[in-house]
Amino acid sequence: MIDVAIVGTGPVGAVAANLCGVHGLSAIAFEREHQVYDLPRAAVVYDDVQRILHGAGVLDAVLPTTSEMAGAEFLDASGKRIIGFDIPPGLRTANGYPPVLSINQPLLEQAIRSGLGSHPGVELRLGQEVVEFEQMPDHIELLVRDPASGATRRESARWLIGCDGATSGVRKLAAIDWRNLGYDCDWLVVDLELHRDVGLSRLCQQVCDADRPTTVLPLAGKLRRWEFQLKPGETVDEMQSHDRVWSLLGRWLSPGDGVVLRAVVYRFHATIAETFRQRRLFLAGDAAHQTPPFQGQGLCTGIRDVGNLIWKLAMVRRGQATDDLLDSYTAERRPLAVAMVEHSTRTGQLIDAYAAMGCLTTLSGRVGPWLDETMHGGCWVWR
Ligand SMILES: Cc1cc2nc3c(=O)[nH]c(=O)nc-3n(C[C@H](O)[C@H](O)[C@H](O)COP(=O)(O)OP(=O)(O)OC[C@H]3O[C@@H](n4cnc5c(N)ncnc54)[C@H](O)[C@@H]3O)c2cc1C
């Protein structure tokens, strides 16, 4: 029997699998798809997450796929900075890493998966979907299906980690409650690959424009992201149309400057699982929490989950700790995940508030302390 069955090998499952190898746990990472999802999603990783990737043995493979981010700012409708910060080139945090790296998620995922070859006890099974499981007193039994042929087989493991994303079948099968923390908002997400340098900022920018709140940020390399908030009455079809997308982008660039990789309306959510542990089962990543993207914390929170969990499983497996240690996973990770979701939600609300107030210069004295708390009281601190 293997130690750990990992259901879903997106970025969080792939980091979990590498950490299992590093800590001497045997593991099978099941993944329904044959290829890494090929469109950009997460935009950044913070310094503490780089440290976890280092511990998982994959940071050297990841770094060439990233760029150092230059800072972040809130702008008014005219493009004037309200508040922000610039990261000096070459700055390293107390962790020894750049404060924040821009990423290209598909390349990041491939780099993380490439580490799995160095762990003989860890197996990646692509095109394998976990469809059922049953918790026994001393192990978990899984039913695994090949979606192409429909063939099924049984596996067993000491523990199961559901890293199967926001719509997690593992979470649903375990009937773990999924609580809405009160942010549901539609945004058009546009990812674009530039053909040439058109002088765009290397900072993450929140444009607090009453007409349309917008986020603009660099991803790694030539990739750029725009996020446009939908107005009441705007439909998904009209927002995703070629003409509308280029009319929205027109403030920054014209069609010859790059190619749109994706223009899709997403509903940003703020949700959290009621518990991250149910006996032999654990939830991690988007399966455990979903975060509006304004602080770039969705993926990072998931990687922190497995950074917290895997060494504990290894200690229990080696008999160096009792099963009680595993209860600290929910106790430690869930409050921090809630804090990240709420912090990101407040940032989204702050953008809306600034945009609605419009007259930023005269109001900045009143909302300044709130903004200061949002910018410096949470994850945008690298001391
Ligand atoms: C448009 C967009 C923008 C985003 N922007 C940001 C951002 O700026 N910053 C940020 O940090 N995050 C961002 N995110 C979120 C980020 O992409 C996710 O947090 C991250 O991908 C979560 O990783 P994960 O491994 O938990 O889940 P996923 O990446 O969803 O991976 C889950 C995997 O599980 C597999 N799977 C599912 N069910 C099964 C099963 N039964 N058996 C086997 N395999 C299964 C799926 O095929 C998938 O590969 C964004 C997401 C989107 C969609």
Question: What would the pLDDT profile of 111-145 be if each residue is shown by its tens digit?
Answer: 999 999 999 999 999 999 999 999 999 999 999 99
Please tell me the distance between residue 286's alpha carbon and the centre of ligand 1 in angstroms.
6
- Quote the radius of gyration of the chain (alpha carbons, Å): 21
The preferred substitution site among 37, 108, 164, 266 for testing ligand 1, maximizing ligand atoms within 8 Å of CB, is: 164
Mean pLDDT of the chain: 92
pLDDT exceeds 80 at position 381: no
Q: How far apart are CA 383 and CA 375, in angstroms?
A: 13
Residue nearest to atom 53 of ligand 1 (CA): 41
pLDDT exceeds 90 at position 369: no
Residue nearest to atom 1 of ligand 1 (CA): 41
Residue nearest to atom 21 of ligand 1 (CA): 299
pLDDT tens by residue, 142-163: 999 999 999 999 999 999 999 9
Q: How many CB atoms lie within 10 A of CB 245?
A: 19
Query: How is residue 196 annotated by DSSP?
Result: S
* The ligand 1 atom nearest the CA atom of 301: 11
Residue 378's pLDDT is 40
Q: Which of the four pLDDT bands, split at 50, 70 and 90, describes residue 86?
A: very high
pLDDT exceeds 70 at position 361: no
pLDDT tens by residue, 307-332: 999 999 999 999 999 999 999 999 99
* The ligand 1 atom nearest the CA atom of 264: 1
Residue 352's pLDDT is 81
pLDDT tens by residue, 178-210: 999 988 889 999 999 999 999 999 999 999 998
Residue 377's pLDDT is 42
Q: Which residue has the higher pLDDT, 46 or 356?
A: 46
CATH of domain 2-39+102-181+271-345: 3.50.50.60
* Bridge partners (DSSP) listed for residue 288: none
* The ligand 1 atom nearest the CA atom of 131: 41
pLDDT tens by residue, 277-298: 999 999 999 999 999 888 889 9
Residue 355's pLDDT is 78
Are 188 and 240 in contact by the 8 Å Cβ rule? The answer is yes
Distances (CA, A) of 341 to 4, 81, 118, 165: 28, 25, 34, 16
Are 221 and 261 in contact by the 8 Å Cβ rule? The answer is no
Please tell me the distance between residue 361's alpha carbon and the centre of ligand 1 in angstroms.
39
H or E element at residue 207: strand 204-208
Please tell me the distance between residue 105's alpha carbon and the centre of ligand 1 in angstroms.
10
Ligand 1, CB cutoff 6 Å, lining residues:
7-8, 10-13, 30-33, 41-43, 105, 129-130, 163-165, 169, 189, 266, 285-286, 293, 296-300, 302
Distances (CA, A) of 107 to 64, 194, 263, 293: 10, 17, 20, 19
Q: How far apart are CA 192 and CA 206, in angstroms?
A: 18
Instruction: Work out the percent of the chain whose per-residue pLDDT is above 90.
Output: 83
* The ligand 1 atom nearest the CA atom of 284: 26
Distances (CA, A) of 271 to 116, 220, 285: 31, 28, 12
pLDDT exceeds 70 at position 93: yes
Residue nearest to atom 42 of ligand 1 (CA): 129
Q: How far apart are CA 232 and CA 214, in angstroms?
A: 15
pLDDT tens by residue, 209-220: 989 999 999 999
Q: For the chain, give every domain's residue range.
A: 2-39+102-181+271-345
Mean pLDDT of 64-68: 95
Residue 293's pLDDT is 84
Residue 373's pLDDT is 52
